[in-house]
Chain A
Amino acid sequence: MEKSIDLKEIERKAYLAYHQDGVWDLFIGGGFFIAGIGMFFDFAYILAAVGVALVPLVSLVKKAVTVPRLGYVKFGPERQAKEKRNRYAYMVLLWIVMFAGMFLFAVYSFESSYFDWLRGLGAIPFGFVVVLLTTAGAFLYGIKRLYAYAVLFAVVFLAGHFSDLRLYYFFIIPGAIILISGLILLMRFIRMYPKGENQYAG
């Protein structure tokens, strides 16, 4: 017989259940896929801006799809504080990435031969940033499949670089895979948790 009840594990599983709906996967995968399509047709920037503008939709979709199926829960102060810390940590990371991006943009814009080695890396620095953000998300939020996505991005960006793959495929391939993964997760989630009544009969 188990001597103790692992409350931390119960809490962790309850928290992770909310991330098994595939909604974030659909948005991340969809974002990359659409950006790749946009690159193909040469209007990626507009689509990227639309993608960023759609991020608040995630919480609305979760409210419409996840909560009515999984139920509502307010986590304890410890989890709430951890969530807040994670959000701040991710924001800081995003700022660092943004400044690094601006630096890279400047480097690519200048004609100086000093940065030739960096230009020679092609899309790898961008891939590194994507891998970094995905890994950070996996680590901070405990969502293990994000590690798999990070590996996928790393493989596609590295293999793509050395096989002279066109840039839009760097986005379309992982985007499509993550999108499919999100769809499978969502379908499984909907099947596993049909919309139930939230009524107490007592």
Chain B
Amino acid sequence: MPDEKNSGENLRPLASIDRTIHEPARLMILACLYVVESADFLFLMRRTGLTRGNLSSHLSKLEAAGYIEIRKEFVDKIPRTLLRLNRKGRKAFDEYRRKMRHALDELPE
């Protein structure tokens, strides 16, 4: 069955999708960080709509994967957690988008 074989080939790139990024909440976080130079925890919470605990947990995973940098600082004696997507994270996110676009474009309508 050539069609089935073809479809299998089309879907193959999906198997190598980065699962750390593919999770919807983390995908939102990365998309937000991708378009800015840096943002703080509150900004990400507002933009993604995630709860504090949920966001914290996803940020830990992204940090563990080496995709983001987390810096804590004080501004006017108020603690601020600054987040930045590093080069590895940007590259991984670009790669993820490329693979997803490729796989989805190849699928029949």
Within 8 A of B (CB), among A54-80: 70-77, 79
CB of B15 closer than 8 Å to a CB of A: no
Is there contact, CB below 8 Å, between B36 and A14? yes
Report the Cα distance A74→B104, complex, angstroms. Answer: 33
Is there contact, CB below 8 Å, between A76 and B37? yes
Beta-carbon contacts of A1-17 to B below 8 Å, as 1s and 0s?
10111011011001001
Are A202 and B59 also in contact (CB < 8 A) when A1-B104, A17-B46 are?
yes
Interface residues of A (CB under 8 A from B): 1, 3-5, 7-8, 10-11, 14, 17, 70-77, 79, 193, 196-202
Beta-carbon contacts of B55-74 to A below 8 Å, as 1s and 0s?
01101100100000010100
Within 8 A of A (CB), among B75-92: 75, 78-82
Report the Cα distance A7→B94, complex, angstroms. Answer: 11
Hey, which chain B residues are within 8 Å of A73, CB to CB?
A: 36, 38-40, 43
Chain B interface size, under 10 / 10 to 19 / 20 to 34 / 35 or more: 35 or more
CB of B45 closer than 8 Å to a CB of A: yes
Are A200 and B72 also in contact (CB < 8 A) when A75-B36, A76-B37 are?
yes
Hey, which chain A residues are within 8 Å of B42, CB to CB?
A: 70-72, 196-198
Given A72-B40, A202-B70: 10 more A-B contacts, CB < 8 Å: A17-B46, A71-B39, A72-B42, A72-B80, A72-B82, A73-B39, A75-B36, A198-B40, A200-B70, A202-B59
Is there contact, CB below 8 Å, between A70 and B31? no
Is there contact, CB below 8 Å, between B52 and A7? no
Report the Cα distance A51→B60, complex, angstroms. Answer: 47
Report the Cα distance A124→B38, complex, angstroms. Answer: 46
Report the Cα distance A1→B103, complex, angstroms. Answer: 12
CB of B105 closer than 8 Å to a CB of A: yes
Hey, which chain B residues are within 8 Å of A14, CB to CB?
A: 32, 35-36, 43, 47
Is there contact, CB below 8 Å, between A72 and B63? no
Is there contact, CB below 8 Å, between A74 and B37? yes
Q: Could you list some 18 contacts between A and B, CB below 8 A?
A: A4-B97, A5-B97, A7-B35, A8-B35, A10-B32, A14-B35, A17-B46, A71-B44, A72-B43, A74-B38, A193-B46, A196-B45, A196-B46, A198-B78, A199-B79, A200-B59, A200-B81, A202-B60
Is there contact, CB below 8 Å, between A76 and B81? no
Hey, which chain B residues are within 8 Å of A193, CB to CB?
A: 46
